[in-house]
Structure 1
Amino acid sequence: MGNAVPLRLELRSELLQLAAPFRISGRVFRDSPALVVELHHPRGTGRGEAAGVYYNDDAPEAMRATLEALRGRIEAGLDRRALQALLPPGGARNALDCALWDLEAKLAGSPVWRLAGLDGVRPLLTTFTVGADTPEAMAERAAAYDHARAIKLKLTGEPALDGERVRAVRRRLPRVWLGVDANQGFDAASLPLLLPVLAETGVALLEQPGARGREADLDGLERVVPVAADESILDLRELEARHRHFDVINIKLDKCGGLTEGLAMARRARELGKRVMVGNMVGTSLAMAPAFVLGQHCDVVDLDGPLFLTADRRPGAVYRDGHIDCPGEVWGDP
């Protein structure tokens, strides 16, 4: 996209409130800060939202400062290719990249999915996430997703307790697709204690069992369950360096810096023989919609972020029959 007409950049910080505290390994979330980018052009406005990557200290206020420092360059006219060289992967680039995609759709009169080379988009089966809690509470919460076909459980790196959590949910939902996410909670000694339970209960995916930087701990592990990288692989460069340790690559736009790099990562992961997943850092439907386009290429989809909020944007993503759909009016339609 070439902009002969200068743009007007608008940056807005928002604090998204969670409906209830959400616990993962080593952290409890009660709200989710976000940065919204708007690019105003005489023929339309492009929007993007990002939360950043908390474990990299990639916070929305720092993202805002980064973009504010580049205001002159951005408002003079910037395309996605130039942005890839201008900013590193992370939330600031994600928000701006998604706003550029949205604006490009407005100016081209063509939806983002078509600009991205797709023939169309379809509703996607998504996981619905249950935060770490007692086994009984997690089973109740999983069952409360009455239309869900896929559930993802947050674990905390405590093999005995985590095993009971998984068993409790499986007893309550014997036929649902079940994945677990440890958020780096296990180590080389504790993970083997959990694996028999995962095999016994038919868990389909184990996400990020160990710490970022300790990927070699997975070498030689009996893969009773496919293992996905989340924190271990942030962007395309890290995909090249660390893919051999994992079966599935979880791409998040906040990690990799936007839909442009997310699509490139999906293509490269396929070339490397990996399955592909799309995830989210929590956010409104404005953050889910670009990931929904990426999700058209993915085997596993985890785009339930708006369901954790007290309020979503309108119009918003539609959750029905275990699927997510993002109509064009949410984002990315001319």
Structure 2
Amino acid sequence: MGLALAYRIETHRLAAPFRISGYVFEASELVVVELTDGQHRGRGEAGGVYYLGDQAPQIVEALEANRSAIEACESREELRQILPIGGARNAVDCALWELEANRSGIAAYRLAGIEVPRPLITTFTLGADDPAKMAEGARRYADARAIKLKLTGELSLDINRVAAVRDARPDVWLGVDANQGFGVGQLDALVAAMGEQRVSLIEQPIARGREADLEGFESPIPIAADESVLGLADVLGLVGRFQVVNIKLDKCGGLTEALLMAEEARRLGLGVMVGNMVGTSLAMAPAFILGQLCDYVDLDGPTFLKEDRVPGVHYSDGQIWCPDEVWGTPAAVLAA
């Protein structure tokens, strides 16, 4: 019996505008996919990749263009041949994971090879703002053990931002995300300044397409690829340029590809990070499974929303925990 595909678009307002290099977010437009076989159901959520023009309208267009193939799809591996990487495949792939869990009576995390998931220390992100306001935001993250700052490529101002946050929170792990904001000529100064503030990770300092600029660049602080790596095919090209790969399900097309990417990164000696495009707990739940295999976890998306789904993930003591009832655990297992 084939599958029935349904979807809806949801707009989730952010609690406050969120600024990164070259972009300000005020809402997150998400596509929720449901697959049913007449007895069991699976769900997935995607927001797409804004800088690639992969957003809700394009996700819906891809779903409709491939509806017949999706409804006849028999496996997650087959889906990788039907849809390209991106938001549409992510939503369908995650729906297939939950559908398989419900059909088999085995929780999705166990299908992924995780016997017992654990709470994960996650970064909590500060949007780029006035240094004093960012310091105030860092203090409000009272339980945070790890904080990530968005930078804008304005080197002097960015250094002041990081210094203000470090002064406010001398206790936490700090990372920075430049969102492609810097040129190669600024990297020495950026790395030196970040070292002075005990920054532990620099994410995507240079523009996508300029990866060769990092060839042979030696940094005492690991540099993570985000925009420079989308799917599995991009991982090999990071070697000798980046030390960490940031895997996001919306970029790579779902948990199936994400797990393959994590395995390949480990094989190549790269560190592994899980990130998110701002979404609800329905998007965090499959990413939480990937997070069990990661060195760095950035799954704070729902904290930016005015309202999250219920049931949802929990944030406590600087950690994220995904209860079984959020996604991917069959009713029989929940009732046991």
Q: Same fold by TM (over 0.5)? A: yes
TM normalised by structure 2 equals 0.96
Residue of structure 2 equivalent to 1:50: 46
Partner residue in 2 for 1:223: 219
Following TM superposition, by how much is the alpha carbon of 1:20 offset from its aligned partner in structure 2, in angstroms?
Answer: 0.4
Contact 1:229 1:249 in 2 (8 A): yes
Equivalent pairs, count: 330
1:282 offset after TM fit, Å? Answer: 0.5
Instruction: For 1:167-186, list aligned pairs within 5 A.
Output: 167-186=163-182
Tell me the equivalent position of 2:246.
250
Which amino acid in 1 is paired with 2:96?
L
Provide the secondary structure at the position in 2 that maps to 1:312.
Answer: coil
Answering whether residue 129 of structure 2 is matched by residue 146 of structure 1, we say no
Q: 1:114 aligns with which of 110, 113, 125?
A: 110
- Residue 153 of structure 1 and its aligned partner are, at CA, apart by 0.1
What secondary structure does 2:293 align onto? coil
3-state DSSP of counterpart to 1:190: helix
Aligned to 1:32: 28
Tell me, yes or no, if the aligned pair for 1:317 and 1:326 is still in contact at 8 Å.
Answer: yes
For residues 4 and 16 of structure 2, what CA distance do their matches in structure 1 show?
37
Amino acid at match of 1:295: G
Quick check: 1:195 aligned with 2:191?
A: yes
* Structure 1 residues 310-329: aligned runs within 5 Å: 310-329=306-325
**What SS does structure 1 have at the residue aligned with 2:26?**
strand
Q: Which 5+ residue runs of structure 1 have no aligned equivalent?
A: none
Deviation at 1:243, TM superposition (A): 3.1
Alpha-carbon shift at residue 40 of structure 1 (Å): 1.8
Shift of 1:103: 0.5
Aligned residue in 2 for 1:155: 151
Inter-partner Cα distance in structure 2 for 1:326 and 1:41:
26
Q: Identity, % of aligned pairs?
A: 60
Q: How far 1:222 moved relative to its partner?
A: 3.2
Q: Structure 2 residue aligned with 1:72, among 57, 60, 68?
A: 68
Q: Following TM superposition, by how much is the alpha carbon of 1:309 offset from its aligned partner in structure 2, in angstroms?
A: 0.4
Asked if the contact 2:69/2:82 (under 8 Å) is kept, the reply is: no
CA–CA distance in 1 between the matches of 2:128 and 2:77? 40
Q: Which deviates more, 124-133 or 243-252? A: 243-252
In the aligned structure 2, how far is the partner of 1:281 from the partner of 1:13?
16
2:17 to 18, 21, 26: 21
CA distance in 2, matches of 1:311, 1:233: 30
CA-based RMSD: 1.0
Match of residue 278 from structure 2: 282
Gaps of 5+ in 2: 331-336
Report matched runs for 1:256-275 at 5 Å: 256-275=252-271
Q: What is aligned with 2:326?
A: 330
Q: What is aligned with 2:293? A: 297
How far, CA to CA, are the matches of 2:106 and 2:223 in structure 1?
A: 37
**Cα separation, partners in 2 of 1:72 and 1:139, compared to 1, 3 Å:** same
The alpha-carbon deviation at position 118 of structure 1 amounts to 1.5
1:190 is displaced (CA, Å) by 2.0
TM-score where L is the length of structure 1:
0.97
> Deviation at 1:77?
4.3
Q: Aligned AA for 2:218?
A: E
| Secondary structure in structure 1 of the residue aligned to 2:176 | strand
Per-residue deviation at 1:263?
0.2
CA deviation string 1:227-273 (max 9, x = no partner): 00000011110112233311010000011100000000000100000
Inter-partner Cα distance in structure 1 for 2:88 and 2:214: 32
**8 A contact 1:52–1:91 mirrored in 2:** yes
- What secondary structure is seen at the aligned counterpart in 2 of 1:204? strand
CA apart distance, 1:319 = 0.4
Measure, in 2, the Cα distance between the counterparts of 1:321 and 1:173. Answer: 15
